[in-house]
């Protein structure tokens, strides 16, 4: 399949590791120029070098905390100065802290909304004018299946990411006539550092061995295992492609059948 991405420019948030890095690698393999954004300069530089070496593509990086109010403008300005425009935006941010309603502070709520919702809103606002100018754009928001099936220990993530899905749907409707698609993709079990930390927290809280919880968690997935970041990235790359031009406003679970609701 010809993805039509060989001359596109992508900005990928949270791209120093895990899902974000895998998405950046996938886009670069299809010929897109890519800018990686994350907080850790050392990890970003290593990821950019790895992707460039593997694909031979144009890869740059920008150090930024996407939760900061000025991050979106700084990052988008940098990409425009470097590559001329932004065709593809991947809003991907690390998940908020774990906790239940009564032990989560006001600061925790503020931080979660800034990280997982407000950051995506700001980045989207920054890229839309250029996409309108070119009458083409792809925005993919990485959410989580907890937005569909919330659990008490992940109330921050569930709340912020459900809001992100609603925002995505509204924006997709507004800009569909301009050739701009906006989709939300919900990973279930993807074996990343984030998932490992969640299992480690459960292990400590429940007094159960990590390996036992890992096995139980994988058995709960109909496919019988967690996904690799690369498997999840393949879906995102498709949504960024030219053949996906008629797909917008979707709220897609990529979870091996984990989510029970439709």
Residue 218 maps to a domain: yes
pLDDT tens readout for residues 73-90: 999 999 999 999 999 999
Residues 104 and 164 in one domain: yes
Residue 95 maps to a domain: yes
Closest CA to 47 of 229, 255, 240: 229
pLDDT tens readout for residues 231-243: 999 999 999 999 9
Number of domains in the chain: 2
Read off the CATH number of the domain in which 182 is found: 3.40.50.720
Residues 50 and 131 in one domain: yes
Question: CA–CA separation, 237 vs 94, rounded Å?
Answer: 19
pLDDT tens readout for residues 96-133: 888 889 999 999 999 999 999 999 999 999 999 999 99
Q: Treating both helix axes as pointing N-terminal to C-terminal, what angle do 193-206 and 210-219 enclose, rounded to 10 degrees?
A: 110
Which residues touch 210 (CB under 8 Å, ≥6 apart)?
Answer: 199, 200, 203
Residues 114 and 196 in one domain: no
Task: Domain of residue 57: give its range.
Answer: 9-189+227-254
Residue 260 maps to a domain: no
Residue 140 maps to a domain: yes
pLDDT tens readout for residues 181-214: 999 998 877 777 767 777 777 788 888 888 887 7
Residues 159 and 222 in one domain: no
Residues 221 and 167 in one domain: no
pLDDT tens readout for residues 24-77: 999 999 999 999 999 999 999 999 999 999 999 999 999 999 999 999 999 999
- CB burial string 196-217: b at 16+ within 10 A, e below: eebbeebbeeeeeeeeebbeeb
Q: Is the pLDDT of residue 94 over 90?
A: no
DSSP string, 29-55: HTT-EEEEEES-HHHHHHHHHHHHHHH
pLDDT at 31: 98
Q: Is the pLDDT of residue 7 over 80?
A: yes
Residues 185 and 57 in one domain: yes
- Taking CA 124 as the corner, what is the angle to CA 38 and CA 55, rounded to the nearest 5 degrees? 50
pLDDT at 262: 61
Question: CA–CA separation, 204 vs 182, rounded Å?
Answer: 39
Residue 241 maps to a domain: yes
Residue 4 maps to a domain: no
Residues 140 and 201 in one domain: no
Residue 181 maps to a domain: yes
Residues 156 and 215 in one domain: no
Residue 221 maps to a domain: yes
Residues 65 and 116 in one domain: yes
């Amino acid at each position: 399949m010809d993805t039509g991405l060989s001359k596109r420019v992508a900005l990928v948030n949270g791209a120093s590791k895990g899902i974000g890095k895998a998405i950046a690698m996938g886009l670069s393999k299809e010929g897109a120029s890519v800018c990686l954004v994350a907080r850790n300069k050392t990890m970003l530089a290593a990821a950019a070098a790895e992707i460039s070496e593997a694909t031979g593509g144009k890869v740059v990086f920008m150090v930024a905390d996407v939760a900061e109010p000025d991050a979106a403008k700084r990052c988008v300005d940098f990409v425009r100065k470097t590559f001329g425009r932004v065709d593809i935006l991947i809003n991907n941010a690390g998940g908020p802290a774990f906790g239940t309603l009564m032990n989560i502070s006001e600061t925790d709520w503020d931080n979660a909304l800034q990280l997982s919702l407000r950051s995506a809103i700001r980045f989207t606002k920054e890229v839309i004018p250029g996409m309108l100018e070119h009458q083409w754009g792809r925005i993919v928001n990485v959410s989580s299946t907890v937005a569909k099936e919330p659990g008490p220990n992940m109330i921050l993530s569930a709340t912020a990411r459900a809001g992100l899905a609603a925002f995505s749907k509204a924006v997709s409707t507004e800009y569909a006539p301009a050739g701009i698609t906006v989709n939300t993709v919900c990973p279930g079990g993807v074996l990343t550092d984030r998932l490992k930390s969640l299992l480690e927290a459960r292990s400590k809280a429940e007094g159960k061995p990590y390996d036992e919880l890992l096995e139980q968690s994988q058995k709960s997935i109909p496919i019988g295992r967690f996904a690799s970041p690369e498997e999840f990235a393949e879906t995102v790359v498709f949504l960024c492609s030219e053949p996906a031009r008629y797909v917008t406003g979707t709220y897609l679970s990529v979870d091996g059948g984990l989510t029970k609701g439709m």
